[in-house]
Amino acid sequence: MAAVRFADGDWAEDAEFAAYGAATPALRALDAETAHDVAVAALALGLGPRRRRRDGEALRVEALGTTFSNPIGLAAGFDKDARAFEALLRVGFGFVEIGSVTPKPQPGNPKPRAFRLREHGAVINRYGFNSQGHESARTRLARRRDAVAAEGDDATAEPRGVLGVNLGKNKLTPEDNAADDYVLGVENIGEFGDYIVVNISSPNTPGLRNLQGRKHLSGLLRKVLDARDKNPGTAKTPVLVKIAPDLTDAALRDIASVVKSEKVDGVIVSNTTIARPDAIKAHAHGDEAGGLSGKPLMEPSTKVLHDLYKLTGGKITLVGCGGIASGEDAYAKIRAGASLVQLYTAFAFEGPPLIPRIKRELEECLARDGFKSVQDAIGAAHRK
């Protein structure tokens, strides 16, 4: 991975991020989905700020067979159709996950389908896997591969970062045929990802969460892994599964058993929740259908993460996702067992300046508690 250039100086980075921070309130004046669409369009045009500081050594993580310059990733759902991932990596994320991408294009659920609960740092969405489909994503992802190939060993080029490809199923695909959609994802766009995610936990596609049960999960993952192994372009690509936070203890034990027996490479914990804390119920949008994300998800998703780390003996890579809005939040996930973390809602509220802040705060947390690196802190909450 080539080194980042510093020709413009650190001050230029500070100025760029400050300018984008000042623009964020203008997006808040728009409804949630329109603001999201405007942000993605701007980033796709190359209008995002650019990281110039090299990430500190303490933030580097070795996971999933690759090196992450930092453990802070952007969760799936922001760049659904692979339009802006290059710009998002330049913002300073250690990795970006596109999708969920479905085999065929589909519009998702009727609008409005995203609602801000700003005072709670939360969002409720029921997008329903709106996607332009595999073919559209493949075209965009192929451009990135060609650019990387053309760059070769250019030492002046910027690091490309780590890219995840999150796969979903079409709404009209019967539950019993769901594995076919994920296999198509591996075959059609899996080769472009540094890792692949099987998303079976969105609450906004009818019946999808049923796939988390032992009855479906083992067979589904076996088919996906077989497809991965048979495809020369994906034979060494890690496969992760993304789970819900709304699981019984028995269901979580089943998932742990299946991912171990099927030799899945990792688990993302977690997707949005269908639960509604009392404070959320009292909000004007609190009774909207859909998944709740943001700060209210931090505690329940971290508990599931903590429990899954114990159930898997710390031997499977876990990605902590849900409610992260600070370096302290990211650190809590890492201590609970996450090798990597992802966020989305806080980024939607705060914009690009959030990323350098979280990385700085995470470094402070590590130093405060005597850890030399993120790697040393993984699972610390389980050690006496």
Please report, for the chain, the start and end positions of each structural domain, with discontinuous segments joined by +: 10-382
* Spacing of C-alpha 186 from chain mean position: 18
pLDDT at residue 341, rounded to an integer? 99
Contact (Cβ atoms closer than 8 angstroms) between residue 78 and residue 42:
no
> Which residue is catalytic, options 202, 270, 293, 326?
202
pLDDT at residue 153, rounded to an integer? 64
Q: Which residues contact 74 (CB under 8 A, 6 or more apart)?
A: 88, 93, 95, 96, 97, 342, 343, 344, 347
Using the structure block, give the residue that is written with the tokens 């989905």: 33
pLDDT at residue 25, rounded to an integer? 75
pLDDT at residue 7, rounded to an integer? 39
pLDDT at residue 156, rounded to an integer? 52
Binned average pLDDT, 10 residues per bin, the chain of 384 residues: 39 67 76 96 93 94 98 99 97 98 99 98 99 98 85 62 98 98 99 98 98 96 99 97 98 98 99 98 98 99 99 99 99 99 97 96 99 99 92
Phi (first) and psi of residue 208, to 5 degrees:
-60, -40
Q: Which residues contact 197 (CB under 8 A, 6 or more apart)?
A: 76, 97, 99, 164, 165, 166, 167, 239, 240, 241, 242, 268
pLDDT at residue 8, rounded to an integer? 44
Quick: pLDDT tens for 6-61: 334 465 667 677 766 666 777 888 999 999 999 999 999 998 899 888 999 999 99
202 is catalytic: yes
pLDDT at residue 11, rounded to an integer? 55
Give the span between the Cα atoms of 216 and 377, in whole angstroms: 34
Look at residues 174, 269, 258, 167 and name the one whose alpha carbon lies nearest to residue 215.
258
pLDDT at residue 23, rounded to an integer? 67
pLDDT at residue 10, rounded to an integer? 62
Classified by CATH at the fold level, domain 10-382 comes out as TIM Barrel (3.20.20)
